[in-house]
Amino acid sequence: MLSDALLIFIVLAPGLVALTGLVHKFIGDKIVMYTTTGVVLTAGALSLLQLFSYAAGLGSHGADAHAAAEHGHAVTQHIITLMPWINVGEFHANWAIRVDTLSIVMMAVITGVSGLVHLYSWGYMSEDPHKARFFAYLSLFTFAMLMLVTADNFIQLFFGWEGVGLASYLLIGFWYQNKAPNDASIKAFVTNRVGDFGLALGIMAVFCIYGTVEFAPFMEALRENTMVTPIAFADPAPAREVIMTFLGQRVWAVEVIGVLLFIGAMGKSAQFFLHVWLPDAMEGPTPVSALIHAATMVTAGVYLVCLLSPLYEYTLVAAGMITVVGAVTALYAATVGMAQNDIKRVIAYSTCSQLGYMFFAAGVGAYEAAMFHLFTHAFFKALLFLGAGSVIHGMHHEQDMRKMGGLAKFMPLTYAAMMIGTIAIIGLGVPHTKLGFAGFFSKDAILESAFAGGMEHVAFGQMAFWFGIVAAFLTSFYSWRLIYMTFHGPKVWEGAHDDDHAHAHDAHDDHAHDDHGHGHGHTPHESPLVMLIPLGLLSLGAIFSGFFFYNYFVDHSNEAFWAGAIYRASENHVLHARHEVPEWVIYAPLIVTLGGLLLATMTYLFNRGVGKRIADSGGPLYSLFYNKWYFDEIYNATLVRGAAFLGNIFWKADKKVIDAAGADGMTALTLLSARRLSILHTGRLYHYAFIIIGAALVFGALMWLNAGGAH
Query: Positive or negative CA dihedral for 582, 587, 591, 592?
Result: positive
Residue 185: alpha-carbon gap to chain centroid? 13
* Bridge partners of residue 78, in order along the sequence: 99
Supply φ then ψ for residue 696, to 5 degrees.
-65, -40
Q: Residue 454: left if φ>0, alpha if ψ -120 to 50, beta else—which one?
A: alpha
C-beta separation of 384 from 506 below 8 A: no
- How confident is the model over 142-158, as pLDDT tens digits? 999 999 999 999 999 99
436: left (phi over 0), alpha (psi -120 to 50) or beta: left
- Asked whether the CA dihedral 279, 512, 176, 414 is positive or negative, the reply is positive
**Cα(412)–Cα(228) distance, rounded to whole angstroms?**
62
Number of helices and strands in the chain (H, E): 31, 6
Distance CA 264, CA 607 (A): 45
For 606, which DSSP code? I
Nearest to 418 by CA among 333, 288, 539: 539
Distance between CA atoms of residues 135 and 105, nearest Å: 24
Query: What is the C-alpha separation between 43 and 5, in angstroms, rounded?
Result: 12
Strand-pair partners of 536: none
Instruction: Enumerate the β-bridge partners of residue 243.
Output: 252
Task: Using CB atoms within 10 Å of the CB of residue 310, give its burial: 0 to 12 exposed, 13 to 18 middle, 19+ buried.
Answer: buried
Residue 525 has what pLDDT? Answer: 87
50-57 CB contacts, 8 Å cutoff, 24+ apart: 50/1, 50/2, 50/104, 50/107, 50/108, 51/104, 51/105, 51/107, 51/108, 53/1, 54/1, 54/101, 54/104, 55/549, 55/552, 55/561
Distance from CA of residue 553 to its chain's centroid? Answer: 22
Q: By three-state DSSP, how is residue 487 classified?
A: helix
**Of 349, 368, 331, 359, nearest to 261 (Cα)?**
359
pLDDT for 108 equals 95
CA distance 43 to 571: 39
Q: What are phi and psi of 77, to 5 degrees?
A: -70, 145
Please give the sequence-ordered ranges of beta strands (E in DSSP) within 518-593, or none if there are none.
none
How far apart CA 652 and CA 672 sit, in angstroms, is 24
DSSP annotation of 518 reads -
pLDDT of 498 reads 43
Burial zone of 548 (CB within 10 Å; 0-12 exposed, 13-18 middle, 19+ buried): middle
Cα–Cα distance, 699 to 693 (Å, whole number)? 10
What is the phi-psi region of residue 178: left when phi exceeds 0, alpha when psi lies from -120 to 50, beta otherwise?
beta
CA R_g for the chain:
30
* SS3 per residue for 450-462: HHHHHHCCCCCHH
Residue 354 DSSP symbol: H
Instruction: Rounding to the nearest 10 degrees, give the CA dihedral for residues 100, 371, 303, 472.
Output: 170
**Which residues, including other chains, have CB under 8 Å from residue 154's CB and lie 6 or more apart?**
93, 203, 206, 207, 213, 214, 215
- Which pLDDT score is estimated for 329? 96
Flag residues of the chain having pLDDT under 50. Answer: 58-63, 65-66, 68-73, 496-512, 517-520
Nearest to 377 by CA among 561, 542, 211, 164: 542
Strand, helix or coil for residue 78: strand
Q: What is the largest CA-CA distance in the chain?
A: 120
Handedness of CA 471, 477, 478, 482 (dihedral sign): positive
CB 44 within 8 A of CB 146: no
Residue ranges of alpha helices (H) inside 71-151 are 101-124, 131-149
